[in-house]
Amino acid sequence: MFPERLRPLVEATTGLSDRFAAAGHTLYLVGGSVRDAIVAEPGDAPAVGTRDLDFTTDARPDTIERLVSGWADAVWTQGKRFGTIGCRRAGQVYEITTHRAEVYRPDSRKPEVAFGDRVEEDLARRDFTINAMALRLPELELIDPFDGIDDLSVHRLRTPLDPDVSFADDPLRMLRAARFIAKLELEPAPELVEAVRSGHGRLSIVSAERIRDELDKIMVLDVPSVALWFVVRTGLADEFLPELPGLAVEQDPIHRHKDVLAHTLAVVDKTSPDRLLRLAALFHDVGKPKTRAFVDGGVTFHHHEVVGARMTRQRMTALRYSSDDVEVVTELVLLHLRFHTYRLGWTDRAVRRYVRDAGPLLDQLNELTRCDCTTRNATKARALARRMDELEARIDDLRQQEELDAIRPDLDGAQVMEALGIGPGRDVGRALAYLLELRMDEGPLGEDEARARLTKWWAGQH
């Protein structure tokens, strides 16, 4: 018996299912909308309209396109060669796909598609049993040939077919397994784990863009470390994020430095689910293994933030992140130690520089800094939190006194040229740099004082 809370989904699809039935075709609701409705608490109906709805049918792509044309407000066919027609009606997005089987060739990044006539064949080729359930419309018959409901009830993750076969169809499913384990608090079946351990090298045929998108979904989960531990322990991380297992440096019994991997994943979990902030937390210590040194009975990681920023840029570029994403995460990694030079003796100039260098990333940088403290020493943790509170209070005080978020020289380029009687050129840039240093050191000078200082400085240049 299907849960009553599925009914809102059914009501949202009545017009569509009627058109397919009238044409002699079956239509099934599939995917996450069915799964999530089953695991939802009673009374928590799925939010129709806030997510795309996925369907499978025995109708071929040309027929699907014909059936939705005139009913939908918009239709798109970019996925038609893979059997998918997309459309939108009254703000709701529908993706309708002919029953199919996707199989990757061992040396190919592109799936081969074969269309079928039975929903059971289609469901057999899906990633996991919890996603291999379908609701036949409009009869409201739940199709669950692989016991997905049972797996949900016992919190188990399995594949419909042998996991080696399922992962051969699409190796990205190994990374998706990590996400579902963390998202739904599932225990992976032993044969699934073994299939990932033995076959993770197949991930190499998956495009960097698809891997990146799956990683992004992991990073915004409530507890991403569960998924990240899975990819490390199965060897999957070696294929797309080798820096992560590289953090599991052997703890030295004499120097007793932290396990950097465990610390990193703890920091990731502590940060708020901001995708780029979480990525910065993931990468913030990747430079430590390369910079580790034992000095005077202790361990050091000098300049690991510089090395880590370079490594972050290289890895994110390889994963095809946008240049904007790369710049944000790399800058947070580079700056994440800046606060630790802060003491009560920081001058206003130092505070201004901290704010200027962080720019629009200030709040994210401060959160990363707070979350970077994973010590079990309560005294040390309180001391760090207190120093951060003091720094943020000083930033607020300075903001009330001056335009701290837009620190710039007291004169602009035109005023500099007028004051010095010079035209555009290198000397204008030198003069503005001098005025900016004054602004950082002393705060706002005012236009008259800035002109006087500039004139004096200029005279000393000749």
Q: What residue type is assigned to position 71 of the chain?
A: W
Q: Taking CA 397 as the corner, what is the angle to CA 396 and CA 398, rounded to the nearest 5 degrees?
A: 95
Neighbours of 340 (CB within 10 A): 11
Q: Which of 373, 359, 375 is nearest to 271 (CA)?
A: 373
pLDDT tier, 65 (very low <50, low <70, confident <90, very high otherwise): very high
Q: Which helix (H) or strand (E) holds 305?
A: helix 304-318
Residues in CB range of 438: below 8 A, 6 or more apart: 409, 410, 445, 450, 453
Predicted local distance difference test score (pLDDT) of residue 107: 60
Contact 67, 83 (CB under 8 A): no
Q: Give the three-state DSSP class for 96.
A: strand
The conformation of residue 228, written as its DSSP 8-state character, comes to H
pLDDT tier, 259 (very low <50, low <70, confident <90, very high otherwise): confident
Distance CA 280, CA 203 (A): 24
Q: Where are the beta strands (DSSP E) in 236-305?
A: 293-295, 298-300
Question: Could you identify the residue written with the tokens 């529908």?
Answer: 94
Predicted local distance difference test score (pLDDT) of residue 47: 55
Encode pLDDT of 329-348 as tens digits: 999 999 998 887 766 567 87
Predicted local distance difference test score (pLDDT) of residue 433: 82
pLDDT tier, 293 (very low <50, low <70, confident <90, very high otherwise): confident
Mean pLDDT (the chain, rounded): 86
Among 48-62, 286-300, 303-317, 425-439, which range has the highest average pLDDT? 303-317
Predicted local distance difference test score (pLDDT) of residue 78: 93
Beta pairing class for 111-115 and 100-104: antiparallel
Can you give the C-alpha Rg of the chain in angstroms?
29
Predicted local distance difference test score (pLDDT) of residue 414: 87
Q: Which two tokens stand for residue 27?
A: 């239509």
Predicted local distance difference test score (pLDDT) of residue 254: 43
Q: Which two tokens stand for residue 392?
A: 């943020």
Neighbours of 386 (CB within 10 A): 10
Predicted local distance difference test score (pLDDT) of residue 143: 93
Three-state SS for 21-67 is HHCCCCEEEECHHHHHHHHCCCCCCCCCCCCCEEEEECCCHHHHHHH
319, HSE (Cβ side, Cα atoms, 13 Å):
24
Range name among 1-15, 92-106, 107-121, 270-284 with the lowest pLDDT average = 1-15
Predicted local distance difference test score (pLDDT) of residue 12: 79
Distance CA 422, CA 416 (A): 8
Residues of the chain with CATH 3.30.460.10: 1-147
pLDDT tier, 405 (very low <50, low <70, confident <90, very high otherwise): low
For the chain, the distance separating the N- and C-terminal CA atoms, rounded to the nearest angstrom, is 90
Predicted local distance difference test score (pLDDT) of residue 253: 44
The class of domain 1-147 in CATH terms is: alpha beta
Does residue 378 register a pLDDT over 50?
yes
pLDDT tier, 391 (very low <50, low <70, confident <90, very high otherwise): confident
Residues β-bridged to residue 153: none
Range name among 16-30, 66-80, 311-325, 421-435 with the lowest pLDDT average = 421-435
Does residue 2 register a pLDDT over 80?
no
Q: What residue type is assigned to position 381 of the chain?
A: A
Range name among 46-50, 129-133, 213-217, 390-394 with the lowest pLDDT average = 46-50
Contact 99, 118 (CB under 8 A): yes
317 vs 90: which has the higher pLDDT = 317
Q: Where are the beta strands (DSSP E) in 245-341?
A: 293-295, 298-300
248 vs 257: which has the higher pLDDT = 248
Neighbours of 331 (CB within 10 A): 20
Say how far residue 89 (Cα) sits from the centre of its chain. Answer: 30
Does residue 165 register a pLDDT over 50?
yes
SS3 content of the chain, % helix, strand, coil (to 5): 55, 10, 35
Distance CA 20, CA 4 (A): 23
Contact 269, 224 (CB under 8 A): yes
Say how far residue 366 (Cα) sits from the centre of its chain. Answer: 19
Encode pLDDT of 68-121 as tens digits: 998 999 999 999 988 999 999 988 899 999 998 655 566 665 666 778 889 999
Distance CA 178, CA 194 (A): 13
Section 390-398 average pLDDT:
84
